[in-house]
């Protein structure tokens, strides 16, 4: 540090001395001097040109580079966030319920695909092994039976099989058919009798209702009219007011529920609300609609009651005890009539059911079965006469062997699903452990289990995160959306790694804008991350390559800004440097695109511009002093 400070002081002293030297050499002639202007042009022939000798140029560390053509990339910059690749985040669970017997990894461990993460002891595995062993035993028995049947068939042991079994089944079916016919006829007769009885009961109930109605009219005619307050009318008005109030409240609640449902559906479409919240809003709206319908029905009923009571009041016929008793009798008669109608309806349904096609179809099926057994009996009799039972016995034994093999294969597949090998020997107790295998390579992100813990198949045991490829969600403003498309190359930089550039590709553009993020579009980029440096929720800068071209470029260190304009120092040779105004294009990877003001091959200063700027300031100061002297 001390040596650096000393070197800087020496450079400043040299620059000041050289400036004085050149100031003396480039001093303008006084007014009226006979010195020719051409003599001055040797040292400073152009406006803005600086002349340095070789020692000053070497001590000032001036370096130049030629302007060349290079690849220039136009980029669109945006902020972004690293998110985990959804196909590279795996939650591992168990196929079976059981107890954690062994854990092989911890949170943060790196695992490979196929590696055993844990071992689960399960009774389901034990049952699967037992089923496999049972299937093996059944297969051995079936194979032995098949061998015995073949030997017996070759020895001619099988004789004519009796047809008594088929005949017995035929007789049973015939008996069942006769019983079904008797039941069918009895049910049909009972149903018809029930209809007649119910119809007679209904007729009696109708007569009783008519008598009760006539008695009510007679008693009403005997009641004198008066100005006494009619309480049922007041009750009807009060119930009508309460019903209308309930209807208004229900209608208000329905409007609120519909508004909430509409808002929730919009938020669900943009991913802010979940499916459960949308279902709850829909259920609330349906409940409010049901409440409104119920309230409207109550209003309708209350209006009918009110109209009836108003009609009674307008006719000035008031109910007293006799009228009320008559009304009660009429209501009871109507109730009895309704019950009789219901009984008649039920009896008619029973009659229709007794006469239904299903009953007839059942009889027809039983008749068809009896006919089939008759045919089978004739065929079995023919088979017995031809002595074909030996062949049938062999076929049955072969079918048993095939079925046992299928059962054994199913047991093998079950063990294979549990990733457990079939038991090799019964005398050695087989293991009941099920290995939990890593489906992908990555790091253990979560492990909410411990050894000895009892688990179920729906429990999450491990979460594996593979960061070799990640997603970066960039936020692109609405005005720049038209420049972005799928497949474009992107360059990612992170604050944690300022010198690293991660290359990726755009693989997804969101269908909607995010109004909460300044109306930006989410552009998802897939970025290889073999070293795992980029991690989820890390903030990054994203450059989307929207165009590439070949253009004239110079290093970024060669360009400086002065009063809103861009300048480069052009080396003219022989220690001469000229300020050149340029038009600057894009900047990419430390290179600046030159649109105007410079030609290919011209050399520009990249280091040591401090000395050149010092000379410029001294020239400006001398010129200002000479103007003041004049």
Q: What is the pLDDT of residues 518-531, one digit of tens each?
A: 889 999 999 999 99
Contact (Cβ atoms closer than 8 angstroms) between residue 397 and residue 142: yes
Rounded to an integer, what distance in angstroms lies between the CA atom of residue 519 and that of residue 512? 9
pLDDT value for 509: 94
3-state DSSP assignment of residue 462:
strand
* Cβ within 8 Å of residue 45, ≥6 positions away: none
Query: What was the pLDDT predicted at 158?
Result: 54
Task: Mark 542-558 as b/e (b = at least 16 C-beta within 10 Å).
Answer: bbbbbeeeeebbbbeeb
For the chain, domain boundaries = 224-318
Chain CA centroid to CA 85, Å: 14
Instruction: Tell me whether strands 489-494 and 576-588 are parallel, antiparallel or unpaired.
Output: unpaired
Residue 592, number of CB atoms within 10 A of its CB: 21
Sign of CA dihedral 293, 297, 298, 303: positive
Residue 616: predicted pLDDT? 61
- Return the CA Rg of the chain: 51
CA torsion, ordered 125, 126, 132, 138, to nearest 10 deg = -150
Collect the ranges in the chain with pLDDT lower than 50: 1-9, 13, 15-45, 159-161, 224-229, 318, 425-428, 630
Supply the angle between the helices 123-155 and 389-417 in degrees, to the nearest 10: 160
According to the model, what pLDDT value does residue 444 have? 92
Q: CB under 8 Å to 106, separation ≥6 — which residues?
A: 444, 447
Token pair, residue 555, equals 């290093």
The position carrying tokens 């107890």 is: 99
How far apart are the C-alpha atoms of 209 and 345, rounded to whole Å? Answer: 19
- The alpha carbon torsion through 205, 208, 212, 215 (nearest 10 deg) reads 160
- pLDDT attached to residue 355: 73
Which residues have CB under 8 Å from 496's CB, separation 6+? Answer: 533, 538
How many CA atoms, within 13 angstroms, populate the side-chain half-sphere of residue 115?
Answer: 16
Taking residue 569's Cβ as centre, other Cβ atoms within 10 Å add up to: 25
How many other C-beta atoms can be found within 10 angstroms of the C-beta atom of residue 281?
A: 22
Phi and psi at residue 101, to the nearest 5°: -95, -30
pLDDT tens for each residue of 311-342: 766 665 545 555 677 778 888 888 888 888 88
> Which residue, among 481, 536, 547, 472, has the nearest Cα to 502 in the 3D structure?
472
């Amino acid at each position: 540090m001390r040596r650096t400070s000393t070197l800087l002081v020496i450079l400043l002293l040299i620059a000041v001395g050289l400036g004085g030297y050149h100031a003396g050499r480039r001093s303008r002639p006084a007014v009226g001097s006979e010195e020719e202007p051409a003599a001055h042009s040797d040292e400073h022939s152009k406006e803005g040109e600086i002349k340095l000798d070789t020692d000053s140029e070497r001590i000032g560390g001036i370096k130049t580079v030629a302007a060349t053509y290079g690849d220039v990339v136009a980029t669109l910059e945006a902020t972004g966030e690293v998110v985990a690749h959804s196909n590279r985040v795996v939650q591992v669970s168990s196929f079976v319920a059981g107890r954690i017997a062994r854990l092989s990894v911890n949170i943060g461990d790196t695992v490979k695909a196929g590696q055993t993460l844990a071992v689960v002891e399960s009774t389901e595995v034990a049952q699967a092994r037992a089923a496999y062993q049972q299937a093996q035993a059944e297969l051995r028995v079936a194979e032995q039976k098949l061998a015995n049947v073949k030997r017996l068939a070759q020895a001619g042991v099988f004789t004519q099989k009796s047809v008594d079994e088929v005949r017995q089944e035929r007789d049973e079916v015939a008996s069942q058919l006769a019983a079904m016919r008797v039941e069918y006829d009895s049910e049909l007769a009972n149903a018809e009798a029930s209809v007649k009885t119910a119809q007679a009961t209904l007729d009696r109930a109708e007569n009783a209702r008519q008598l009760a109605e006539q008695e009510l009219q007679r008693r009403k005619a005997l009641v004198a009219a008066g100005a006494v307050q009619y309480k049922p009318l007041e009750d009807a008005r009060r119930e009508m007011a309460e019903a209308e109030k309930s209807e208004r409240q229900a209608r208000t609640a329905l409007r609120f529920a519909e508004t909430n449902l509409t808002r929730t559906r919009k938020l669900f479409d943009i991913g802010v609300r979940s499916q459960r919240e949308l279902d709850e809003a829909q259920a609330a709206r349906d409940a409010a609609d049901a409440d409104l319908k119920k309230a409207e029905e109550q209003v309708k009923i209350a209006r009918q009651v009110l109209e009836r009571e108003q009609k009674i009041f307008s006719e000035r016929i008031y109910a007293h005890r006799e009228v009320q008793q008559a009304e009660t009798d009429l209501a009871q008669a109507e109730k009895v009539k309704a019950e009789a109608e219901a009984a008649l309806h039920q009896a008619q349904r029973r009659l229709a059911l007794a006469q239904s096609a299903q009953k007839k179809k059942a009889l027809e099926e039983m008749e068809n079965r009896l006919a089939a057994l008759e045919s089978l009996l004739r065929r079995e009799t023919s088979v017995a006469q031809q002595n074909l039972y030996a062949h049938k016995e062999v076929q049955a034994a072969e079918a048993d062997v095939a079925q046992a093999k299928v059962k054994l294969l199913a047991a093998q597949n079950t063990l294979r699903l549990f990733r457990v090998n079939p038991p090799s020997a019964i005398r050695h107790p087989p293991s009941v452990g099920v290995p939990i295998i890593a489906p992908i390579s990555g790091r253990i992100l979560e492990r909410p289990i411990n050894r000895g813990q009892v688990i179920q198949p729906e429990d999450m045991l491990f979460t594996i995160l593979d960061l070799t490829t990640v997603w970066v969600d960039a936020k692109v403003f609405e005005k720049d959306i038209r420049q972005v498309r799928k497949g474009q190359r992107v360059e990612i930089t992170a604050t944690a790694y300022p010198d690293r550039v991660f290359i990726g590709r755009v693989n997804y553009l969101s269908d909607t804008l995010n109004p909460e993020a300044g109306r930006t579009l989410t552009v998802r980029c897939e970025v290889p991350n073999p070293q795992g440096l980029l991690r989820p929720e890390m903030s990054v800068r994203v450059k989307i390559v929207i165009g590439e071209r070949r253009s004239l470029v110079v290093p970024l260190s060669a360009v400086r800004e002065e009063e809103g304009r861009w300048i480069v120092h052009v080396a003219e040779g022989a220690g001469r440097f000229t300020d050149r105004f340029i038009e600057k294009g894009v900047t990419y990877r430390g290179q600046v695109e030159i649109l105007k003001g410079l030609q290919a091959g011209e050399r520009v200063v990249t280091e040591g511009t401090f000395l050149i700027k010092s000379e410029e300031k001294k020239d400006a100061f001398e010129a200002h002093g000479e103007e003041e002297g004049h």
